[in-house]
């Protein structure tokens, strides 16, 4: 109620609430304290000579119930938000309760989280309970892209269950990837090399190690070695993948490789530093590191 956009709506709610309470109070008075019609029989309608409408008040316990509800409402509105933007004498809000609950939660688990964050990876990997927790974190945070089993999907998101990591597969490198995210960019070479040279490089790359003297070798050595290296094993510091193994994110057939070289590729791994705490990141690293 404290975040109402304008003073008009806040005032309107106050008016409606006060009118409702006043109406309830008036009903109580009119029902239980109005003059009894039986004292003025001439004003009371009679049917069939002896059938009278009557004017007996409801049971008295109704009066006490309504009065208690009225008093409770008044006390509540004085103590808690309910009258427009008025915050109440206790200054209570749902947001403050959430903040307080979160602070209590953090305090309760701070020690356990610190213990996990400072533990050795081998100790975590040998703890079945912690690894199950890591799997739950992975399914919640990572499976949308990498799949529930971590083996990638849609020829867009890499397999995390092998040892071929574009930015390095050591525990330190994986932690850097999770914390800071990654931005990968493969240039489009179509306009630079032309169709024929693109096709030759693609054919050479798919036959790496078996194609000495291939027409695409010279083109590769002139344009691609800065990132992928002369031997094609890539450079984790640049996020340049290994071209000599049989692991291809966007497809390893000739058509897919040609498309990659011609049009380029780009990929973004978001940063989780502000989403996951140190213990959660450590659990993920323990799960993914080999």
Distance CA 42, CA 37 (A): 9
Q: Judge if 150 and 276 occupy the same domain.
A: yes
Residues 6+ apart with CB under 8 A from 194: none
Q: Residue 32: its pLDDT value, please?
A: 77
Q: Residue 1: its pLDDT value, please?
A: 47
Distance CA 29, CA 39 (A): 18
Q: Judge if 85 and 141 occupy the same domain.
A: no
253 near 260, Cβ under 8 Å?
Answer: no
Q: Give me the torsion for CA of 110, 111, 113, 114, rounded to 10°.
A: 110
Distance CA 287, CA 131 (A): 7
Structure tokens at 217: 């070798």
Q: Judge if 35 and 84 occupy the same domain.
A: yes
Q: Residue 31: its pLDDT value, please?
A: 77
Angle at the Cα of 224 (from 146 to 246), degrees rounded to 5? 40
Q: Judge if 163 and 226 occupy the same domain.
A: no
Q: Judge if 191 and 50 occupy the same domain.
A: no
76 near 70, Cβ under 8 Å?
Answer: no
70 in any annotated domain? yes
> How many domains are there within the chain?
3
207 in any annotated domain? yes
Q: Judge if 32 and 151 occupy the same domain.
A: no
Q: 158 is in which domain, residue-wise?
A: 112-181+271-288
Q: Residue 170: its pLDDT value, please?
A: 93
Domain stop point among 30, 59, 91:
91
Q: Judge if 87 and 219 occupy the same domain.
A: no
Q: Residue 288: its pLDDT value, please?
A: 94
Q: Mind listing the pLDDT tens digit of every residue in the chain (290 residues)?
A: 445 556 788 888 888 988 988 988 888 888 777 665 455 555 566 666 666 666 566 788 888 888 898 899 989 988 988 888 888 888 888 888 888 888 888 888 888 899 999 999 999 999 999 999 999 999 999 999 999 999 999 888 999 998 889 999 999 999 999 999 999 999 999 999 999 999 999 999 998 877 788 999 999 999 999 999 999 999 999 999 999 988 899 999 999 999 999 999 999 999 999 999 999 999 999 999 97
Q: Judge if 172 and 281 occupy the same domain.
A: yes
107 in any annotated domain? no
**278-288 helix and 128-141 helix, angle to the nearest 10 degrees:** 100
Distance CA 120, CA 286 (A): 9
Q: Judge if 70 and 209 occupy the same domain.
A: no
Q: Judge if 238 and 250 occupy the same domain.
A: yes
190 in any annotated domain? yes
Residue bearing tokens 């008075």: 29
Nearest to 236 by CA among 189, 156, 191, 170: 170
Domain stop point among 91, 124, 150:
91
Helix H segments across the chain?
Answer: 7-32, 60-79, 94-117, 121-125, 128-141, 143-146, 171-180, 190-206, 215-223, 225-228, 254-263, 278-288
46 forms beta bridges with 52
| b/e burial code for range 22-36 (CB count within 10 A of at least 16 → b) | eeeeeebeeeeeeee
Indicate the length of the chain as a whole number.
Answer: 290
We report the CATH number of the domain holding residue 199 as 1.10.760.10
Q: Residue 96: its pLDDT value, please?
A: 85
Q: CB neighbours (10 Å) of residue 255?
A: 9
Q: Rg (Cα) of the chain, in Å, rounded?
A: 37
276 in any annotated domain? yes
| DSSP codes joined into one string, 8-30 | HHHHHHHHHHHHHHHHHHHHHHH
125 near 274, Cβ under 8 Å?
Answer: no
């Amino acid at each position: 109620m404290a975040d109402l956009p304008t003073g008009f709506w806040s005032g309107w709610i106050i008016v409606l609430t006060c009118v409702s309470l006043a109406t309830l109070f008036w009903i109580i008075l009119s029902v239980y304290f109005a003059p009894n019609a039986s004292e003025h029989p001439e004003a009371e309608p009679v049917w069939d000579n002896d059938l009278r409408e009557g004017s007996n008040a409801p049971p008295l316990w109704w009066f006490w119930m309504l009065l208690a509800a009225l008093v409770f409402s008044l006390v509540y509105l004085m103590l808690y938000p309910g009258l427009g933007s008025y915050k109440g004498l206790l200054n209570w809000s749902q947001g403050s309760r959430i903040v307080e609950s979160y602070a209590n939660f953090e305090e309760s688990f701070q020690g356990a989280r610190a213990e996990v964050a400072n533990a050795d990876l081998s100790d975590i990997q040998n703890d079945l309970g912690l690894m199950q927790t890591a799997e739950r974190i992975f399914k919640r945070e990572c499976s949308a892209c990498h799949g529930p089993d971590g083996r990638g999907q849609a020829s867009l998101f890499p397999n995390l269950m092998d040892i071929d990591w574009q930015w390095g597969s050591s525990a330190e490198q994986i932690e850097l990837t999770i914390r800071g995210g990654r931005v990968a960019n493969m240039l489009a070479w179509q306009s630079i090399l032309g169709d024929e040279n693109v096709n030759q490089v693609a054919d050479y790359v798919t036959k790496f190690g078996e194609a000495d003297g291939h027409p695409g070798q010279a083109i590769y050595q002139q344009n691609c070695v800065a990132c992928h290296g002369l031997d094609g094993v890539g450079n984790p510091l640049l996020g340049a993948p290994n071209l000599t193994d049989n692991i291809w994110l966007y497809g390893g057939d000739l058509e897919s490789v040609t498309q990659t070289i011609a049009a380029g590729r780009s990929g973004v791994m978001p940063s989780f530093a502000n989403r996951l705490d140190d213990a959660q990141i450590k659990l993920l690293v323990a799960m993914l590191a080999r």
